[in-house]
Amino acid sequence: MAVLSLGKTAACRPSRVRGFDYPQELLVDSHDVQSDLKHVLYTKEDIQRRVNELAAEIDSDYAGRDLLIVGVLKGAVMVMADLARALHSHVTMDWMAVSSYGSGTQSSGVVRILKDLETDLMGKHVLIVEDIIDSGLTLSWLKANLLSRGPASVEICTLLRKPEAAKVNIDVKYVGYNIPNEFVVGYGLDFAEKYRNLDFIGTLAPHVYE
């Protein structure tokens, strides 16, 4: 089993585990996070490659149409920025912040808008960009809210999705990886506002949040 240190990269070949797009696990070896993380799931290179693939699909699907991409703060900052740079079509960007997690590991199911969009959605093609979908409760509410504003279409792109954690059925057009129902951090994903800055995605050790 390969070992990955922060600031270094290691090959991580995807494999299929229990029906998920799960890579071969890499142990984390870092003085900063070694005691907090169990494994690295996706390296910086894995993520960038998949984001580029998603961007190519989006470019093809929205060819000839103006697209508004809506990032959901704070988790989607990394994937939103990388996805926008990988797109070759004309796009505009806006941000929305909603609250449903607090500092825990489970969604509360209560949604509150902290920052609304500045863009009028009437007649526009909208793509919501998310870092991760687990229960789907927050995103289901958000999509319904945006649809009520008169856009031409509203679709969803997420880097990660946890099928086993879903509590509502929601149509997600673009999915980077389906992952098991484990708590993950890095690349925008946090626990108590930490770990967002990691350039890879890893599983958080249970002793951190139990």
CA dist., res. 185 & res. 161, Å (int): 13
Average pLDDT across the chain, whole number: 85
Domain count, the chain: 1
Query: Which backbone phi and psi does 202 adopt, to 5 degrees?
Result: -135, 165
Asked if residue 45 belongs to a domain, the reply is yes
pLDDT band per the 50, 70, 90 thresholds, residue 3:
very low
Asked whether residue 82 is assigned to any structural domain, the reply reads yes
Q: What pLDDT, in 10s, does the model give residues 81-115?
A: 999 999 999 999 999 999 875 444 455 557 889 99
Whole-angstrom distance, CA of residue 80 vs CA of residue 157: 10
Q: Dihedral of the CA atoms 81, 86, 88, 91 (nearest 10)?
A: -20
Predicted confidence (pLDDT) per residue in 144-188, tens digit: 999 999 999 999 999 999 999 999 999 999 999 999 998 899 999
> Quick check: 42 pLDDT over 60?
yes
Which pLDDT belongs to residue 206?
82
Q: What are the backbone angles phi and psi of residue 81, rounded to the nearest 5°?
A: -65, -45
Q: Quick check: is 12 in a domain?
A: no
Is 178 within a domain?
yes
Determine, yes or no, domain membership for 13: no
3 CB contacts (<8 Å, ≥6 apart)? 10, 26, 27, 28, 29
Residue 11 maps to a domain: no
CATH of the domain at 108: 3.40.50.2020
**Structural domain includes residue 5:** no
Active-site residue set: 134
Q: Is 4 a domain residue?
A: no
33: containing domain: 18-209
Mean pLDDT of the 18-45 span:
69
Nearest residue to 116 via CA among 137, 95, 145, 102: 95
pTM over cut 0.85: no
